[in-house]
């Protein structure tokens, strides 16, 4: 098949981290509609199982074949858990063709007020989680001579936004890591694909209470899911959601720093995260704070951001 022809996704297997809600769940839905077999990995197994049941009930059968989606417990911070997830998925659904490294957290607050626990948790999930997944899946892809790794980063991986310094740093890491791995795969003559998805603010619990910006509106999880489907059919590295965000990033990138910062202020991007409504974010911040499975039972939950 010529490289420029869209790939057929029917019958292929996809694994998604953080797949029980938000972007992950909608990506699972979109891939199931394409006829793929989907594995949802999530720290909250009960929620993952509920999501899988919902998807089975709501996604119509394709060609008379019922959708196949399964839920698995997964802690991306734990390399052994990632390995067990990949092994279980391949035992149940066959070799993984697509691995969507989607799990991530975004506590907000100024850097000087951010607790050490918050900093470490973001680095653990957003950095080491992505590293662990890449180190487990890429050797299998390389050995088979095929596979597509999708790393979900953010537009925050291309700029620094006040109110989310550590988060921005983790997403810069994901972008840089992805670019370097892609170069290494190319240097080795590998046919394995790698894409980096960089959405603007997405309408999920993670972005609750954040302000709108001028020019680049918030996108939906469905928008991101469709972009992932598109890049699986016609592979490329940079995946901006919306596409206009990529154009804006390119144009703004040629400006000197004062110009870039001036545009950011004009668009309100400098306030989008900095002035997020803490009350609207309370539920998400608490869930993020309780996301560490190593917390001992009975420990009072602590917010990851002030």
- The answer to the question of residue 7 being in a domain is no
Asked if residue 188 belongs to a domain, the reply is: yes
According to the model, what pLDDT value does residue 3 have?
A: 55
Q: What was the pLDDT predicted at 305?
A: 31
Confirm whether 279 is domain-assigned: yes
pLDDT tens track for 253-265: 777 878 777 777 8
Q: Please check whether residue 3 lies inside any domain of the structure.
A: no
Q: Does 301 fall in a domain? A: no
In a domain, 175, yes or no: yes
| Residue 295 within a domain | no
Residue 295 is predicted with a pLDDT of 57
Task: DSSP for 159-196, please give it.
Answer: S--TT-HHHHHHHHHHHHHHHHHHHHHHHTT---EEEE
Query: What is the domain-level CATH number for residue 209?
Result: 3.40.50.720
Compute φ and ψ for 72, nearest 5 degrees: -140, 150
Residue 67 sits in which domain range?
Answer: 13-289
* Per-residue model confidence (pLDDT) at position 73: 98
Confidence at 245, pLDDT banded by 50, 70, 90: confident
Supply 110's token pair: 């100024």
What is the structure's pLDDT at 131? 98
259-224-239 Cα angle (round to 5)? 55
Convert the pLDDT of each residue in 164-206 to its tens digit: 999 999 999 999 999 999 999 999 999 999 999 999 989 898 8
* Percent of the chain with pLDDT strictly greater than 70: 93
Cis preceding linkage at 242, omega within 30: yes
Asked if the model's pLDDT at residue 303 lies above 60, the reply is no
In a domain, 296, yes or no: no
Q: H-type helices in 59-196, by residue range?
A: 79-93, 116-122, 129-144, 165-187
231, 251 contact by CB (below 8 A) = no
| Number of domains within the chain | 1
- Report the 10 Å Cβ neighbour count for 146: 15
């Amino acid at each position: 098949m010529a490289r420029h022809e869209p790939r057929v996704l029917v019958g292929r297997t996809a694994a998604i981290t953080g797949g029980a809600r938000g972007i992950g769940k909608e990506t699972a839905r979109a891939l199931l509609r394409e006829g793929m077999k989907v594995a949802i990995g999530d720290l909250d197994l009960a929620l993952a199982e509920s999501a899988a049941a919902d998807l089975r009930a709501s996604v119509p059968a394709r060609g008379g074949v019922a959708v196949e989606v399964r839920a698995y417990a997964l802690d991306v911070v734990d390399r052994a858990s990632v390995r067990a997830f990949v092994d279980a998925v391949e035992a149940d659904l066959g070799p993984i063709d697509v691995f969507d490294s989607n799990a991530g957290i975004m506590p907000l607050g100024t850097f000087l007020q951010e607790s050490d626990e918050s900093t470490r948790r973001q680095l653990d999930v957003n950095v080491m989680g992505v590293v662990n997944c890449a180190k487990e899946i890429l050797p299998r892809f390389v050995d088979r001579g095929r596979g597509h790794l999708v790393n979900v980063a953010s537009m925050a991986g291309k700029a620094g936004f006040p109110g989310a310094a550590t988060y921005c740093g983790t997403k810069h890491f994901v972008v840089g890591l992805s670019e370097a791995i892609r170069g290494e795969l190319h240097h080795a003559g590998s046919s394995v694909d790698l894409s980096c998805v960089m959405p603007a603010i997405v309408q999920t619990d993670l972005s609750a209470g954040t302000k709108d910006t001028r020019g680049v509106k918030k996108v939906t999880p469905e928008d991101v899911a469709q972009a992932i489907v598109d890049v699986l059919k016609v592979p490329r590295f940079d995946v901006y959601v919306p596409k206009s965000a990529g154009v804006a990033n390119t144009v703004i990138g040629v400006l000197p720093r004062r110009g870039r910062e001036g545009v950011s202020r004009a668009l309100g991007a400098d306030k989008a995260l900095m002035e997020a409504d803490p009350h609207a974010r309370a539920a998400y911040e608490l869930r993020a704070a309780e996301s560490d499975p190593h917390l001992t039972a009975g420990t009072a939950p602590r917010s990851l951001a002030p």
